[in-house]
A and B are shown apart, each in its own frame.
Chain A
Amino acid sequence: MMLLTCPNCGARNVSEFRYVGEAKSRPDPETATPEQWRRYLYFHRNPAGWIKETWYHGSGCRRYFGIERNTVDNAQRPAGVTS
């Protein structure tokens, strides 16, 4: 079980967290086309490398937070650092 670094609580077992998914911006529901909306719902970049994600620390501070994680080796860095 990997460790995940919560910005509030520090490194904790990943079982304390819920994976929300790749960080995405929500299209404007008034103007989004079905194509745009379904890309938001169902399409993921899923790269082998750095990815910006949202996690929820349900068994800790109960905060949602963004983090960048390298899917190859699970290396992590705070969200916002450019790759």
Chain B
Amino acid sequence: MSRARPGGSHRLGARPGEVIDRSRTIEFRWNGVTHTAHPGDTIASALAAAGVRVFARSYKYHRPRGLLTADIFDPGAILQVGDEPNVRAAHRLVEAGMDVRSQNTWPSLRYDVKAVNQLAGRFLATGFYYKTFIKPERLWPTYEKVLRRFVHAGEVSPDSEQPYFDKRYAHPDVLVAGGGPAGMAAAVAAARAGASVMLVEQEHQLGGHLRWGDAEDLRCRDELVAAVEAESNIEVLTDSVVAARYDDNWLAVVQRGLPHVAERLVKARAGTLVVAAGLIERPYVFAGNDLPGVMLSTAVRRLLNLYAVRPGSRAVVFTANPEGDAAAADLRAAGVDVVEVDARHGRTVVRATGRGGVEAVELSDGSRIEADLLVTAVGWTAPTSLLNMSGANPGYRPDAARFVPDPAATPAAVIAVGGIAGDGTRDELVAHADAAGREAAARALALAASRAGSADTRDPVAVPQLGLHHHPELFFALPTGGFVDMSEDVSAKDILTAVKEGYDSSELVKRYTTATMGPAQGKLETVNTVALVAHATGKTIAETGATTWRPMYTPITLGALAGRKFEPVRHSPMQPWHTSHKAAPLIAGQWIRPEHYGDPVAEVRNVRQNVGIIDVTPIGKLDLQGPDVAKLLNLLYVNKWSQLGIGRVRYGVMCAEDGVVLDDGVTGRLAENHYLMSTTSSGAGTVWEWAENWLQTEHPEWQVHVTPVTTAYASINVAGPKSRELLARLTDVDLDNAAFGYMNVRTGTIAGVADCVLWRIGFTGELSYELHVPASYGLHVWETLMATGADLGIAPFGVEAQRILRLEKGHLIVGQDTDGLTKAYSAGLDWAVKLDKPDFVGKPELAWQAARGEHPKLVGLRPLDTSVVPEEAAQIISDGGYIVGRITSSRLSPTLGRPICLGQVDAHLADPGTRLTVRLRNGSDTTVEVTAEHAHFDPEGERQRV
């Protein structure tokens, strides 16, 4: 391993505002070479101090790129750190031992074979995404491989450890986005006015541009920081970003740099949002503007004054504003030779030349200056994203050469302060922010009071309007040279070509060229793009308008959005037994259920021959009480309930208002005004809300109380010819067929547990009892059943065995044998639908369906080739190859020794004996015959009535 020269040849002596700790030196690696840094250095500042100029290769043309903005938006400093790709190296602080690499520069940063792309430009013409690599289609897989090698992105190892992402909720009265002078002043004023404040700063320190300013700026920063720290009501989040603003000031704040946490998403609901995002310096478009050594004035001042790094030795400073003048002064003070080119006197830069970096600068007057650094200070972009997300679209002001928000169009809960709102001296901006902060607090506290039911009695604070200073409009030297978007390698020429090809609006040019679609999301690129579109179309910038600013303000990780893993699961009280008996888990919605205990076929046979028990706790259960329950049942179910006697249960089907089957289950009458309804496992919540909807909105006069009791009971189905014999050993309920017949309900004691409900029903087609026992006794009852039934051959069975058993009996499953279009008659439920009831949910549609008689039908199907079990969802096709139905359920029946199916088929093919062709997944066909009944086994239902 090689070592870079120690010390760093470009590090200056101590600076008053520097943020590095010179007392300590740490080592890190850059493309395999060891470098040194001081704590506080960013990766980029440490490399710049070591004289590194080229950080990356560009996206399409693989041109060398260096620092441009020296902050988080820098398109030239996106690097790989260890296993983490796309690290913003001008923002991320150096840590000891970091392994930093340039991305996508095979074979090396210096010798990049893909730079040949500059010669192969015709493949990468404007809109090349839409022009090249299209035909022939058979080459798409090859194109994909080629393009992947060119993609400007790092790599993540599949073995990389998954970091922890955190989530938090916050409810500040006032949230301030931006910790510069205006943001700090607003936060302090709001806190002093009694508001709780969250102050969010993207960078590592508060202070904004004051940090790289003069002595007065630093003094002002110190005062404001001290004032912030003195307010216990202000929570400061640095290295954090307000990534998005949604309705009612729902704010996504992403906090970085926390120990043991990759990123934390703070979901904040703020009373008032104060936007203090400052101004972002705008690059200038000219030939050679992407050469390493071309930098913004703010980048130069950051490097000089925060990190004590001299960015060059001979500089041309192209300036149109006082900040550019200050950069020139700072450079001179650091011993750099400076030539100023003052745009305010009509001089401009037209070209920078050099190999691998700036060597000379050409001016509009034809002169040429040798330099290794070209600094531009040509204007500002207001990063108005959060205002746009609030519904206020800023307008362009040519006199100020930037987009400016209109306070009148901004919602009351959002206030802009600082440079984004207007111009002024430092003290004027602080005074404005102070008033705005007090007003923000007043509005937030009034909103909180009104939500608590109190009247708004505050006195509004008069917030002065900020003026605008004149600034020359400087966007590009010539419309034919240089890059508009360095992240995406979009040139000025590309914009002109796009307009010429007919893409004559900002939004179209953006999508066609991908300008503004890179990591900085337009913060550096939008205004220049709009200016070029305006130039090419002959319109003004105001008429052309900017593209839409959308979340996120700064790119954040998907991990931050995904947050903590939080997937709740539901288990029945018998889960410990299932686990210790090696049940194969089945995920059914939130429930984890036993699919089988090793051999579902044996489980089926045991239920048919002896007795089995299945955990059916997830079945939805609703306790219904009141004098009007029967009315509710008559409304929700398609069948009749008025005559249901006490102690009886009935199977019922619910449809929605469009006649489509919604749910099914049995409901039993426990007492005069007391019923217990069961629903499908997945429909438990839906049916509860459904019942409440009808009770609350259509029939508030009905007296019915609905209580969900799904998990109040553990539910066990005891099924098989020996189930009565088993249960008789454990209950005081008279199980004699004459006393407790099929489709009856009783309550009593089971295994010593009182208040159990027993339903005699038969999903499996066998003699069976469904037990609902108080949940905390579920495991006890289950274990007692297992122990007591040992001599009867008891065995547990899982969901798979139950599915086979019910298919042998032809019982449909809502959602499997029906879908979102299956009306009751299509499900073969003709016998249940009672059109002579005065009303029930979905009745008109079912009446019309019955009258038409053209609907598909659910039928039993018997494959003629007994060696073939058609796949579920296999299509049933006509002679002409049209789809005329599908298999909805299919299994090999252990009881019958042949395959059995249910399927939906077109009406004219539903008659018993009709032979149908099923297209299997492997492409071959097999023949099935429509059976007379859904039930393949015991169609008379004698086994369940014994």
Contact = CB atoms under 8 A, between A and B. Distances in A.
Interface of A: 1-3, 10-11, 13, 18, 20, 26, 29-30, 32, 34, 37, 40-41, 54, 56, 58, 62-64, 73-74
A1 B391 CA distance: 14
Contacts of B848: 34
Interface in B823-848: 838-839, 843-845, 848
A30 B839 contact: yes
Nearest to B452: A10
Given A29-B839, A30-B839, A64-B696, A1 B247 contact: yes
Contact of B246 (A1, A54, A58, A73): A1
A18 B685 CA distance: 13
Interface in B290-348: none
A74 B848 CA distance: 39
A37 B689 contact: no
Contacts of B697: 54, 64
Contact of B696 (A40, A41, A58, A63): A63
Of B248, B693, B838, most buried by chain A (CB within 10 Å of CB) is B248
A62 to B, nearest CB: 7
25 contacts: A1-B246, A2-B247, A2-B250, A3-B248, A3-B269, A10-B451, A13-B250, A18-B689, A20-B693, A26-B657, A29-B839, A30-B838, A30-B839, A34-B848, A41-B658, A56-B693, A58-B689, A62-B692, A63-B696, A64-B692, A64-B693, A64-B696, A73-B391, A74-B247, A74-B248
B672 to A, nearest CB: 27
Contact of A37 (B269, B696, B844): B844
B698 interface: yes
* Interface bracket on B: 20 to 34
Contacts of A1: 246-248, 250
Nearest to A11: B451
Contacts of A13: 250, 269
Interface of B: 246-248, 250, 269, 391, 451, 657-658, 689, 692-693, 696-698, 838-839, 843-845, 848
**Those 3 A-B pairs whose CB atoms lie nearest each other, nearest first:** A2-B247, A1-B250, A64-B696
B845 A37 contact: yes
Contacts of A10: 451
Nearest to B845: A37
A6 to B, nearest CB: 12
Contacts of B391: 73
A66 B246 CA distance: 24
B852 to A, nearest CB: 11
A29 B844 contact: yes
Nearest to B249: A3
A74 B247 CA distance: 9
A32 B689 contact: no
A54 B689 CA distance: 13
Given A11-B451, A56-B689, A56-B693, 6 more contacts: A1-B247, A18-B689, A40-B657, A41-B657, A54-B697, A58-B689
Nearest to A18: B689
Contacts of B838: 30
Contacts of A11: 451
B844 A32 contact: yes
A37 B658 CA distance: 9
Contacts of A34: 844, 848
B880 to A, nearest CB: 31
A7 to B, nearest CB: 12
A29 B689 CA distance: 22
A29 B843 contact: yes
Contacts of A40: 657
B686 to A, nearest CB: 11
A56 B657 CA distance: 18
Contacts of B845: 37
Contacts of B248: 1-3, 74
A15 B246 CA distance: 13
Contacts of A62: 692
Contacts of A74: 247-248
A3 B246 CA distance: 11
Nearest to A34: B848
A18 B690 CA distance: 12
A37 B849 CA distance: 14
Of B269, B657, B844, most buried by chain A (CB within 10 Å of CB) is B844
Nearest to A23: B697
A18 to B, nearest CB: 7
Nearest to A63: B696
Contacts of A3: 247-248, 269
A79 to B, nearest CB: 12
B473 to A, nearest CB: 35
Contacts of B250: 1-2, 13
B698 A26 contact: yes
A68 B895 CA distance: 59
Nearest to B451: A11
A5 B657 CA distance: 28
Of A40, A63, A64, most buried by chain B (CB within 10 Å of CB) is A64
Nearest to B843: A29
Contacts of B839: 29-30
Nearest to A54: B697
Contacts of B844: 29, 32, 34, 37
B810 to A, nearest CB: 31
A43 B657 CA distance: 14
A40 B697 CA distance: 15
A41 B248 CA distance: 32
A21 to B, nearest CB: 11
Nearest to B246: A1
A74 B843 CA distance: 36
A11 B171 CA distance: 13
A75 to B, nearest CB: 11
Contacts of A41: 657-658
Contacts of A2: 246-248, 250
Nearest to B695: A64
Nearest to A31: B844
B657 to A, nearest CB: 6
A12 B71 CA distance: 38
Contacts of B657: 26, 40-41
A29 B844 CA distance: 6
A16 B402 CA distance: 41
A20 B248 CA distance: 21
Contacts of A56: 689, 692-693
B548 to A, nearest CB: 18
A2 B413 CA distance: 13
B382 to A, nearest CB: 24
A54 B657 CA distance: 17
Nearest to B685: A58
Contacts of B696: 63-64
A74 B698 CA distance: 26
A32 B845 CA distance: 10
A64 B698 CA distance: 11
Nearest to B838: A30
Nearest to B656: A41
B658 to A, nearest CB: 6
Contacts of A30: 838-839
A62 B690 CA distance: 12
A37 B697 CA distance: 18
Nearest to A65: B696
Nearest to A26: B698
B634 to A, nearest CB: 13
A18 B689 CA distance: 10
Contacts of A29: 839, 843-844
A63 B839 CA distance: 24
A10 B759 CA distance: 43
B253 to A, nearest CB: 14
